[in-house]
Amino acid sequence: MKIIAIGLNYASHNKEMKRTFESEEPVIFMKPDSALLKNGKPFFIPDFSEEMHYETEVVVKISRLGKNIAEKYAHRYYDEVTVGIDFTARDLQRRQKEKGLPWEVSKSFDNSAPIGKFVPKETFSDIQNINFQLDINGNTVQQGNTKDMIFSVNKIIAYVSKFFTLKIGDLIFTGTPAGIGAVAINDHLEGYIENEKLLDFYVK
């Protein structure tokens, strides 16, 4: 399986990143399957970064094989959602950006993609209007609503599938809203969609 992640998909986050332009197409990057962290296992901060940031994101799971999927049919290609963290070694990413180099070392390293428990997308009446949030040590640090996505889930699926065949089990991280920040050892991360806690793990 593969993990496709969307960058810069919320205007509020783009502002905090001091992006002055909006991309006309989704910004995409990938994480390998070795990036997955599941079942509440702890995340160990790797020693190559001094600035490990959480990015809380709604994650959708692909349920059908597809290529060149039309936007109007895209809703048929995913069936479950959860909340996940797109861990980013911000210091490394900054260095890569300065040199014009790809982001992978800063975003796609082992265990950089913790995911919560999946729930059927029908749990929610409108996938483009769900609240999600991250609490760290009991304090809410990041909150978003999928209605604020620049590119909707269906638009993302249509765009991504032009380049990459989507397979059953592939995951799409749909971007983070404002409120990113650093994690520290012993932090307790809890991710919610609406009032349901789907993600729960510790940083070690």
Identity of the residue, 86 or 135, whose beta carbon is nearer to Mg ion in the bound complex: 86
The least distance separating Mg ion from the CB of residue 85, rounded to whole angstroms, comes to: 9
- Choices 54-62, 71-79, 118-126, 133-141 (CB under 5 A): range interacting with Mg ion: 54-62
**CA–CA dist 67, 33 (Å, integer):** 20
Identity of the residue, 86 or 190, whose beta carbon is nearer to Mg ion in the bound complex: 86
Q: Long-range CB contacts (< 8 A, 24+ apart) of 153-156?
A: 153/60, 153/74, 153/75, 153/78, 153/127, 153/128, 154/71, 154/72, 154/74, 154/75, 155/26, 155/71, 155/74, 156/6, 156/9, 156/26
With beta carbons less than 8 A apart as the criterion, state whether 133 and 191 touch. Answer: yes
The least distance separating Mg ion from the CB of residue 9, rounded to whole angstroms, comes to: 8
Instruction: Determine, following the binding rule CB under 5 A, whether residue 55 of this chain makes contact with Mg ion.
Output: yes
Length of the chain: 204
Tell me which residue has its CB nearest to Mg ion: 86
Considering only 13, 66, 86, 103, the residue that binds Mg ion (CB under 5 A) is 86
Binding mask 154-193 for Mg ion (x = CB under 5 A): ----------------------x-----------------
Please, which residues bridge with residue 37 across strands?
114
Identity of the residue, 142 or 154, whose beta carbon is nearer to Mg ion in the bound complex: 142
**CA–CA dist 70, 65 (Å, integer):** 13
- Choices 85-93, 97-105, 110-118, 180-188 (CB under 5 A): range interacting with Mg ion: 85-93
Distance of CA 12 to the CA centre of its chain: 15
Interface with Mg ion by CB under 5 A: which residues?
Answer: 55, 86, 176
